[in-house]
A and B are shown apart, each in its own frame.
Chain A
Amino acid sequence: MITVVDYGMGNIRSVLKAFSAVGADAVSSRNPEHILEADAIILPGVGAFGDGMANLRKYGLLEPLTTSIIKNKTPFLGICLGMQLIARDSNELGSFEGLGWIDAKVRRFKFEGAHSNLKIPHIGWNEARMSNDCPLFEGMGDSANVYFVHSFHMITEDKSLEKAITEYGYDFTSAIQTENLFATQFHPEKSQKAGLAILRNFLKIVRM
């Protein structure tokens, strides 16, 4: 069972639809048992970082998520806000602690000089330059156009985590992976063929 965590933060239906399009049954749930027993966990989400953490706390999901993903090593895919929440902290509308599963922080795009007129949010199709050693991007070549909608992005000192890079004013980390943790700043569920290829690869990882 693939559990899409329903913590009141956005586009659950698109994620369920995309998994169904690649032939997998995914269910949305906020029941801790569905998180502890899942074969894979998807943390989607749009909205503000602080609200996301508050909702995970409110629904009692912090502990089951940590047990399932960090202790039991259940395959995990974080999408957009779901990627950001696994970082240490974010300064979106205040200062908030994240799940802290990886050594990274979340900050707003900040442009200088020639790029100072770039618009924020970063909305639309942009290229992700992907590491070939990441199983999430297997068979996809060096890059793909994927869909982004965000104003904040992840910054990590640990470059070994970084599995895709995208340029918007400067290069930022658009996907990360370590062990069973996978996360993308872009939306595979909205990225048509490229996105579905990524979800198919994730399913392969889950079924291994």
Chain B
Amino acid sequence: MEFNNSSVDNVRSQMRKGVLEYCILSILNKKDAYASSIISELKDANMIVVEGTLYPLLIRQKNQGLLTYRWEESTQGPPRKYYAITEKGRGQLTEMDIAWKEVVDTVELIKK
């Protein structure tokens, strides 16, 4: 049924939205990255469909002090923003790891 499909899609996109910030911090925890490589990693993992979602999130997380950026010169064109996670961001990531485990465990427990 059409209606069911769209409501499943809606739930799925809500779930992804909920963990998107968690994913951004996880990616930057591995290594520093340009916005474009964060985008391509999220796209490969089917986390985002359009790129526009990401830019407001990055600025918001930067303002919260979770991540920072520096300007890196590039061989062609103007310098680009190179994002990195901060200590505060690492702290939040650890808490998010715990929260994520809790959610997954709870859902598994209920389904049993």
Q: Do A and B bind each other?
A: no
Residue positions of A touching B, CB distance < 8 A: none
